Structure 1
Amino acid sequence: MRVRINKTIGVALTLGLAATASFGNMVKVAQTTAAPGACGDWSGYRAFVERFVQADGRVIDYSTPTQQTTSEGQSYALFFALVANDRATFDRLLGWTRTNLAGNQFDAQNMRLPSWQWGRKADGSYGVLDPNSASDSDLWIAYDLLQAGRLWHEAGYTQLGEALAAQIARQEMTTLPGVGPMLLPGPQGFKNGGVTRLNPSYLPLPVLRALAHEMPNGPWGKLADSAYRLIRTTAPQGFAPDWAAWQNGQFVVDPKNGDTGSYDAIRVYLWAGLASPADPLAKPWLAALGGMRARVAQTGIPPEKVSATTGAASGEGPLSYWGALAPYFKALGDEHGLGLARTHLAALDAAVPGREPVYYDRVLGLFGTGFIDGRYRFDEAGRLVPSWRNACD
């Protein structure tokens, strides 16, 4: 079944790419463009691609019963391919996303938000499991495309990124009175009566800055300010929650998921750590999240779950947490915390018989190790600065 499906995808991909000449030209160029070996091998990225990315560009989370692919996984893999200067993989990832998550409606003149979840259905066939989109993934894909257009000097990517960003602003944004523009987690299902549900981990400051830089007439600069207010207000003990809400003119505890901060919220610390120190919001954003640093200093581990309102914690976070926290510790100048993160993250490269690599560990591990090892950074305008830019251009 998998082979037959892949053949179908391949045919659809070929037809889809032919729909726009610029996209087709990008793929043709990519087939002859390899990452320069002189720039240094990124073994963690290679291991991730070999384990989790099919030849057709589909990222698979094997830990799920549906063998799911998410728009999040595609967006992160696109970012890593850009950091690795791996344009061939970037285009395969983009082509699969276009064909399967966006139904071949992913052109500058005809842009559809990608469905967030794809995988094995109850009848054994493969396809979209949930057509709703995920705004964080959409933001990252738009960012990836805009940066790819700039770094690889390809206007076709830029046009796609601008078109996607325009759809995000049109379909996945709302306005909170007295605060300003705010990102909804998706176009459907997050505004119910007087309650608007929000996800703090969906708002990476560097991504918002880059969109504001590229499209200054959009809502992105004001969204960065709104996002900071969300983070600061919903983390009274210095711990971010997975979810929050807006009700009666204020940020409140999410009525559905409560105030727990865990596998979603861990990314809030990651994005804060990645922000350029020159960004005027970087320092106060980090300061609003000081609870995690203090807790790790006290206990030596990040809690798996923590109450954002009381600070009560339980469990021990897995490797993915250390991946997310490594840039956070680095940005704070916390050498002890960074040393702990490095020690734990070394396990990502250690092959243990019988232990399968975990998708989320690998993904957040690549964000974290790639950053602290100097493979990439973001400048004040949110633009990606990969190490190959200077070494290999």
Structure 2
Amino acid sequence: MRFRINRRTGLALTLGLAAAAASFAGAARAAPNGAAAGACGNWSAYRSFVARFMQADGRVIDFSTANQQTTSEGQSYAMFFALIDNDRASFDKLLAWTRSNLAGNQFDARNVRLPAWLWGKKTDGSYGVLDPNSASDSDLWIAYDLLQAGRLWREPTYTKLGQALAARIAHDEVVDLPGLGPMLLPGPQGFRNGNVTRLNPSYLPLSLLRALAHDAPDGPWAKLAENSYQFVKTVSPQGFAPDWAAWQSGQFVVDPKTGDVGSYDAIRVYLWAGLASPADPLAKPWLAVLGGMRAKVAQNGFPPEKVASTTGASSGEGPLSYWGALAPYFKALGDERGLGLARARLAALDAGVPGREPLYYDGVLGLFGTGFIDGRYRFDEAGRLVPAWRNACD
């Protein structure tokens, strides 16, 4: 099961993720301007993801949930993949649906509202916002997507909206913790109780923080990147990141609600670390503090589904989505055996499992992982997206 947190109350919600493989066979698309297929085009996995999970109006649906939910996370990730694929039509549909349904049409540079994190089928059978609280990780991704789209597609409208959203995040979702400085709340409401502030390590991709620092140097982003590294380092004493942790009385502590477990949220911590540019001064240290996962896979041949971040005790076998997250991690570490294991498991994304439906989380982490190791995109030292089409295929 994959645990997410109710953005209003901070309570855990179970989203029901099975450990099944996903099918991503799709129709080939001709590479632009005669460029060779591969990193420049013919991203059949992305096209199959769009066909399976994205409605024609730009809504991404997680079909594994009873309420057929859409999250701001799903919208933000799909926008990122559309940018990698140079698919502006889908990008605009995703943005338009997010604006209309998650932000109540208050989503322009002069009046930007943080999008609700959860939308889907209500108890009365109608569809709409299920929780109006926002999710800061998704907000960061949407702001990043817009800023990079403005640069890559030379469209200032995207840039202005991205800047406005970044400013809103800084105002509503970044807090100054005594003794630490700026830190990203998981959402504006429900994560501060007295002197305890609950935090999520998987909400802090280094590349995104660097890019926001580059585009908004007066914001909290550069310091937030430094604090985020200290956060992950402190809460991962055995080399394993937890899903959640907290700040209390001037120090990072085990999360009072979920404990020290690292599972479906935490797996993204390894992904973001693997995606960071090697030229970033924090990239190697960040990878170094997460060495427990590499050692565990080397020992067992698979990642654990759950691990105790304070002791290193583990249980279960992680599903296919974990291999998508870990592929860039192994590549960044130069771990050829681990990367080979990941490639072998991720081949199931194309082969599929007869009788089993593709799963949203397998899909998104699979696209992050395979897209990176196949050379479809990377991040530079300033956190900017470098898609293959930008130079080789444009």
Fold-level match, TM-score > 0.5? yes
Structure-1 residue corresponding to 2:384 = 383
Task: Tell me the distance in 1 between the aligned counterparts of 2:156 and 2:364.
Answer: 28
SS at match of 1:239: coil
TM alignment of 1:24-103, pairs within 5 A: 36=32, 38=35, 39-103=40-104
Q: AA paired with 2:91?
A: F
In structure 1, distance between residues paired with 2:295 and 2:224: 29
Query: Which AA in structure 1 matches 2:207?
Result: P
Per-residue CA shift, 1:213-246, capped at 9, x if unaligned?
0000000000000000000000000000000000
Q: Are 2:41 and 2:85, in contact at CA under 8 Å, matched by a contact in 1?
A: no
State percent identity of aligned pairs: 81
Q: Which residue of 2 aligns with 1:205?
A: 206
Following superposition of structure 1 onto structure 2, how do residues 273-288 of structure 1 map, counting pairs within 5 Å?
A: 273-288=274-289
Aligned-partner SS, 1:63: coil
1:301 aligns with 2:302: yes
* Pairwise CA distance, 1:306: 0.1
Give the equivalent residue in structure 1 for 2:27.
none
SS at match of 1:141: helix
- Aligned residue type for 1:197: R
Q: Which residue of 2 aligns with 1:235?
A: 236
- 1:35, 1:85 within 8 Å by CA — same for their partners in 2? no
In the other structure, the counterpart of 1:184 is 185
1:228-279 per-position Cα deviation (integer Å, ceiling 9, x unaligned):
0000000000000000000011000000010000000000000000000000
- 1:122-201 matches, cutoff 5 A: 122-201=123-202
Secondary structure at the residue paired with 2:234?
helix
CA distance in 2, matches of 1:190, 1:280: 30
Q: Matched residues in 1 for 2:352 and 2:252: separation? A: 44
Q: TM-score, normalised by structure 1?
A: 0.91
> 1:144 deviation in Å?
0.2
**Do 1:35 and 1:86's aligned partners in 2 also have CA atoms closer than 8 Å?**
no
C-alpha distance in 2, partners of 1:186/1:133? 5
Contact 2:62 2:360 in 1 (8 A): yes
In 1: Cα distance, 2:134 partner to 2:388 partner: 32
> Which residue in the other structure is 2:26 paired with?
none
Is the contact between residue 180 and residue 250 of structure 2 (CA under 8 Å) also seen in structure 1?
no
Displacement of 1:35 in angstroms is: 8.2
Distance in 2, Cα, partners of 1:203 & 1:315: 26
- The residue that corresponds to 1:224 in the other structure is 225
Query: Could you tell me which amino acid in structure 2 is paired with residue 329 of structure 1?
Result: F
| Paired position in structure 2 for 1:121 | 122
Task: Tell me the distance in 1 between the aligned counterparts of 2:335 and 2:353.
Answer: 30
The CA deviation string for residues 323-363 of structure 1, in whole angstroms up to 9 with x for no partner, is 00000000000000000000000000113321100110010
Q: State how far apart, in whole Å, the 1-side matches of 2:211 and 2:65 are.
A: 33
**Unpaired runs of 5+ in structure 1?**
1-33
The aligned counterpart of 1:365 is 366
Residue by residue, what CA displacement relative to the aligned partner does 1:172-193 show, whole Å, maximum 9, x if unpaired? Answer: 0111222220000000000011
Secondary structure in structure 1 of the residue aligned to 2:246: strand
1:19 paired residue number: none
Residue aligned with 2:145, SS: helix
Residues matched between the structures, number: 360
CA distance in 1 between partners of 2:342 and 2:352 (Å): 18
Q: Distance in 2 between matches of 1:207 and 1:138?
A: 11
Matched letter for residue 237 of structure 1: Q
| Contact 2:134/2:188 (8 A) holds in 1 | yes
User: SS at the partner of 1:174?
Assistant: strand
CA contact (8 A) 1:321 1:364 kept: yes
Distance in 2, Cα, partners of 1:311 & 1:115: 35
**Partner AA of 1:65 in structure 2:** A
8 A Cα contact 2:210 2:383, kept in partner: yes
Partners of 2:31 and 2:159 lie apart in 1 by: 21
Whether the aligned pair in 2 keeps the contact of 1:240 and 1:308 (CA below 8 Å) is: yes
Looking at structure 2, the residues matched to 159 and 229 of structure 1 have their Cα atoms a distance apart, in angstroms, of: 31
* Matched residue, 1:268: 269
Following TM superposition, by how much is the alpha carbon of 1:377 offset from its aligned partner in structure 2, in angstroms? 0.1
Amino acid at match of 2:115: P
Distance 1:240 1:133 in 2: 23
Q: Which runs of 5+ in 2 are unaligned?
A: 1-29
| In 2, Cα distance between equivalents of 1:85 and 1:179 | 40
**Deviations 1:9-66 (CA, angstroms, capped at 9, x unpaired):** xxxxxxxxxxxxxxxxxxxxxxxxx983743200100010000000000000000000
Higher RCO by CA contacts (8 Å cutoff, separation 6 or greater): 2
Instruction: Kindly provide the amino acid, as one letter, of the partner of residue 374 in structure 1.
Output: G
The answer to whether the 8 Å contact 1:98/1:105 transfers is yes
Q: Is the 1:148–1:154 contact (alpha carbons within 8 Å) kept by the matching residues of 2?
A: yes
Please tell me whether the aligned partners of residues 117 and 135 of structure 2 are also in contact (alpha carbons under 8 angstroms): yes
RMSD: 1.0
Measure, in 2, the Cα distance between the counterparts of 1:35 and 1:143.
26
Q: Per the alignment, in what secondary structure is the counterpart of residue 75 of structure 1?
A: helix
